[in-house]
Homo-oligomer: A and B are copies of this chain.
């Protein structure tokens, strides 16, 4: 970047004229998108036939976004900035589409929307039209990494985008509606996690246009003093641009943008020349401009510009109101399109020259199509991290601790494009080894005895699942890799964020070939439902899986590795995958280990399989087993194996098959999910006639929902979490939900004809054991040694 002085009125008359023309052009194209079906340049007198039959879209936020985009173009072009644009406000689509069209990128991605009259007509028609484009900035929008509709994530996406991108600036526009949301309110504190040396910069622009749908906004109606104080408290230097007169506003905005860019440059230069890194006070722009700026001042005798009535379409019902048709004609003409576009509908060259060139155009910045920049992770061989297992179930280990060592070396091998995210739980989730490779990111004050904190850290912890998820999404969408570990119950906090990301991936996979595949979003859910020993009932919810599997099958994967080696194999697979959301559920507590690494690899690559060492159904003929015991999840696997041990003592002749499910989606029909087993394979595992007792990690009905089309579904009996729980011992938790070994034996006794004559006796014996258990824990507060110390004996 060049140095340049900051002037109070930096624009010459000619510059002012041109930037205003550029802005008018964008505004014209925005109104055109909302209203026009034909006659895009008003070369004929406007008639009803030129207007869309259904008027959809939101004008209110659009002129402000256009204003900001034009001014960012000026800064990019002069200083050769590397900048992306994040449009936080909902329904900001027309603005981003208009600007990427003006700068030429839109037509490069969508050649049929050409830079001529025919292209303009298509541009206008397609907006909010069947088969066209959405009203929000969306995956379809060049230059966007952010779906603008839900509101709340603009700032965390922006920070995620610039981590490890030292040259990048994310210009992040936050609407004052969005600024009321919780995720956004928390994300302002992201500045405590941004390193001015290794990371880029976020230039937030709080756009106060005063109104949401029908109400004023909180931040638009507090005093200037409070507003200034709030953002200073958040750690920013706020610069204000306030007014409505375009000429004055252009000068103010240019001056403020120059100051903000100068601040960023100064901060980065100082930090990069210094030995120590301190948190700087980053600039922030507060732009207060009228809602629906430059739109009609009055509609039907009521104020429109500067009012909530401009939030959506400022007027409609054109078929019934010639006055409205005239209002539209006058409004469009007010931008003087003839001065902006030539006779063929092309933006005039002197105006077009204001836009940056090539990949400096924000619509063409490769960071906003991260797959282009994606490099494969350098992955150490996960087999090197294997626990040595000579016999099943003889040693205990914490699965996530083994994973942590693997992730540590992934961090070491990929210092500039892999980060780990989590709400203050990396160590608690036994992933602490990653701290040997990198500190926790921390730009706050340091104190003696702080543990692994530093500005250069890439382990990112803030007690806001929303912020973690937003950072990670921004990081992935700009072409990097990451990993989010979270308490299982509280991942529901980001249900709606997951929805948006999964929908983004579905759309890009199926409809937008120019969006290149990005790294998958990987969740580790641990501290899971079965081990909330003292958090109790409020921390028990395995339902994120249910939420996830509602999304398009192409995009979602769910893994329940039963031990450390299988967790390692699954982790490797997830880190290599693209354009998916991978959900891995695994406990962090010491637990028996079952599979050698070779066995784990085979098991995980199939996703489901018989554990032959736990079966005794190897009859010489093809007779099916008497019963299939299936497990999915680490705790259910333990209980199923303990139940098999009991059954082998009670009924040595009983032929038992044990099936373990790592990849939950194998249960679905192959027609429903790419990982789904064929019916033939499913029937071979689960038989077509014998009882199946299925012990599942989560809500049991999910297994029914996945398998109801399978032939033997009528014989399937599922145990899982049924919302029973409290502060109690690990084994008591499974007992409360009938998932324990004793209940499983009772289930078998109830369902296997060969045991029918002894069922009452077996069940009474199991009930006796449960009574003994209850008495013990009430006395001693922990599980009986015979249960705690049980080992697979065969």
Instruction: Give A contacts to B, CB under 8 Å.
Output: 37, 52-54, 56-57, 125, 128-136, 138, 147, 149-152, 177-178, 180-189, 192, 212-218, 221-223, 226-235, 302-303, 307-308, 424-428, 440, 442, 444-445, 447, 449-451, 453, 461-464, 466-467, 489-490, 492-493, 495-496, 499-500, 503, 506-507, 533-539, 541, 543, 546-547, 550-552, 699, 701-702, 704-705, 708, 713, 723, 726-729, 732, 777-778, 780-782
Q: A133-B727, A182-B182 are in contact. Are A189 and B218 (CB under 8 A)?
A: yes
CA A221 to CA B450, docked complex, whole Å? 12
- Give the complex CA separation of A37 and B778 in angstroms: 12
Bound CA–CA A150/B532 (angstroms): 13
A449 & B547 in contact (Cβ 8 Å cutoff): no
B56 touches A503 (CB 8 A): no
Contact of A778 with B464 in the complex, beta carbons under 8 Å? no
A186 proximity list for chain B (CB < 8 A): 180-182, 184-186
Indicate whether A442 sits within 8 Å of B535 (C-beta atoms), given known contacts A130-B729, A186-B180, A727-B135: no
Whether the Cβ atoms of A129 and B233 lie closer than 8 Å is no
Closest 8 CB pairs of A and B: A230-B233, A182-B182, A221-B444, A56-B534, A185-B185, A229-B233, A182-B186, A134-B536
Residues of B within 8 A of A53 (CB): 780-782
Q: Name A495's contact: one of B229, B427, B492, B500 (CB within 8 Å).
A: B492
Residues of B within 8 A of A234 (CB): 226, 230, 233
**What separation, in Å, do the CA atoms of A426 and B215 have in the docked complex?**
10
Residues from chain B with a CB closer than 8 A to the CB of A493 are 495-496
Q: Assuming the A-B contacts A233-B229, A538-B147, are A723 and B550 also in contact, with contact meaning beta carbons closer than 8 angstroms in the complex? A: yes
Q: CA of A552 to CA of B537 in the docked complex: distance in angstroms?
A: 12
Q: Which B residues are CB-close (under 8 A) to A214?
A: 424-428, 451, 461
Q: Which of B215, B227, B537, B723 contacts A134 (CB 8 A)?
A: B537
Minimum CB–CB distance for A781 against chain B, Å: 5
A57 x B463 contact (CB < 8 A):
no
Q: Is B424 touching A499 in the complex (CB atoms < 8 A)?
A: no
Residues in B neighbouring A185, C-beta threshold 8 A: 182, 185-186, 188-189
Across-interface contacts of A541 in B (CB, < 8 A): 496, 499, 550
Task: Determine whether the beta carbon of B442 is less than 8 Å from that of A216.
Answer: yes
Q: Contact partner of A537 among B212, B227, B503, CB < 8 A?
A: B503
Pick from B187, B536, B705, B780: contact of A704, CB under 8 Å = B705
Given contacts A218-B444, A495-B496, contact A507 B537 (CB under 8 A): yes
**Residues of chain B within 8 A of A56, CB atoms compared:** 533-534, 727
Assuming the contacts A182-B181, A182-B183, asked whether A424 and B534 have C-beta atoms less than 8 A apart, the reply is no
Q: Is the CB of B178 within 8 A of A463?
A: yes
A543–B550 CB distance below 8 A: yes
B728 in contact with A212 (CB, 8 Å): no
Number of copies: 2
Task: Enumerate chain B residues within 8 angstroms of A223, measured Cβ to Cβ.
Answer: 445
Most chain B CB atoms below 10 A, which of A130, A183, A440: A130
Measured CA separation A342–B184 after assembly (Å): 53
Are A539 and B149 in contact, with the CB atoms below 8 A? Answer: yes
Q: Known contacts A215-B451, A492-B547; can you find 7 more A-B pairs with CB under 8 A?
A: A181-B463, A185-B186, A185-B188, A230-B233, A500-B538, A546-B546, A704-B705
User: In the complex, are the beta carbons of B192 and A218 less than 8 A apart?
Assistant: yes
Max chain B Cβ within 10 angstroms of own Cβ: one of A53, A125, A445, A492: A492
What's the nearest-Cβ distance from chain B to residue A761, in Å? 26
Q: How far is the CB of A515 from chain B (nearest CB, A)?
A: 15
Q: Across the interface, do A129 and B727 meet the contact criterion of CB distance under 8 Å?
A: yes
CA distance A495 to B466 in the complex (A): 13
User: Which residues of chain B are near A52, meaning CB under 8 Å?
Assistant: 781
Chain B nearest CB, measured from A190 CB (Å)? 10
Q: How far apart are the CA atoms of A550 and B705 in the complex, in Å? A: 13
Closest chain B CB from A203 CB (angstroms): 20
A292 to chain B, nearest CB (A): 14
CA distance A723 to B552 in the complex (A): 6
Contact assessment for B547 and A495 in the assembled complex, using a CB-CB cutoff below 8 Å: yes
Q: Known contacts A181-B186, A543-B550, A704-B705; is A538 also within 8 Å of B149 by CB?
A: yes
Question: Contact between B781 and A130 (Cβ–Cβ < 8 Å)?
Answer: yes
How distant is A659 from chain B, measured CB to nearest CB, in Å?
20
In the bound complex, do residue B232 and residue A229 qualify as a contact, i.e. CB atoms below 8 Å apart? yes
* Bound CA span A427–B308, Å: 12
Q: How far is the CA of A230 from the CA of B192 in the complex (A)?
A: 14
B residues less than 8 Å from A229 (CB atoms): 229-230, 232-233
Set of chain B residues within 8 Å of A181, measured between Cβ atoms:
182, 186, 463-464, 466
**Which residues of B lie under 8 Å from residue A551 when comparing CB positions?**
723
Are A496 and B506 in contact, with the CB atoms below 8 A? Answer: no
The distance from the CB of A545 to the nearest CB of chain B, in whole angstroms, is 10
Q: Roughly how many angstroms separate A215 CA and B459 CA in the complex, as a whole number? A: 12
Assess the B723–A506 pair: CB atoms within 8 A.
yes
Distance to closest chain B CB from A507 (angstroms): 6
- Are A136 and B536 in contact, with the CB atoms below 8 A? yes
Determine whether the beta carbon of B535 is less than 8 Å from that of A466.
no
Q: Which of B149, B500, B547 contacts A535 (CB 8 A)?
A: B149
Please, which residue of chain B has its CB at the minimum distance from the CB of A548?
Answer: B543
Complex CA–CA separation, A212 to B464 (angstroms): 12
Interchain CA distance A466-B537 in the complex, whole Å = 21
A778: chain B residues at CB < 8 Å are 130-131
| Interchain CA distance A550-B700 in the complex, whole Å | 10
Contacts A132-B727, A464-B180, A729-B130; is A447 near B212 (CB within 8 Å)? Answer: no
Q: Which of A192, A222, A781: most chain B Cβ within 10 A?
A: A781
